[in-house]
Amino acid sequence: EALSRESNPVVFFDITIDNKDAGRIVMELFTHIVPRTAENFRALCTGKMGFGYRRSIFHRIIPDFMCQGGDIANQDGTGGKSIYGGKFEDESFEVRHTGPGLLSMANRAEHLDFKHVVFGFVKDGMDVVRRIGELGAKDGKPTKTITISDCGQIM
């Protein structure tokens, strides 16, 4: 939270678990550190390019490690679609994975630091994140369908 700035955009995901409302996750994006990465996530939350995270799923969940979603192309982690076309270059590894609630871009690398760009954090709704995290398995396959039913920008 030391990286929090009043000028940073704040976005949200409304989550359903097996089509039942599970709550809202509110996230702040680090535009002052990784402007391209943060803008990609913000635009995918708002759907301003005609596509985005709305109605996409969390396809990989490993308890006590991570919840992965956002594959708007294939819904299984194999797709790579951004507002810049396909995949785009990692911007900065300045922010480390120091605890739960950090947002980072997925790629095919094995470890987190120096391989996944941290671009924001969960400002509110960690209870929802923890609930999602409980629905994973060692192989990453979720035990229920977790969907971003709505998303957008708050400020």
Write down the CATH superfamily of domain 10-153: Cyclophilin-like (2.40.100.10)
The domain limits of the chain are: 10-153
Q: What is the pTM of this model?
A: 0.86
* Residue appearing with tokens 């998303």: 151
The pLDDT value given to residue 79: 76
The pLDDT value given to residue 14: 99
| CA–CA separation, 8 and 22 (whole Å) | 26
Contact between residue 155 and residue 10 where contact means Cβ atoms under 8 Å apart: yes
| pLDDT surpassing 80 at residue 92 | no
1-5, 6-10, 58-62, 117-121: least confident range: 1-5
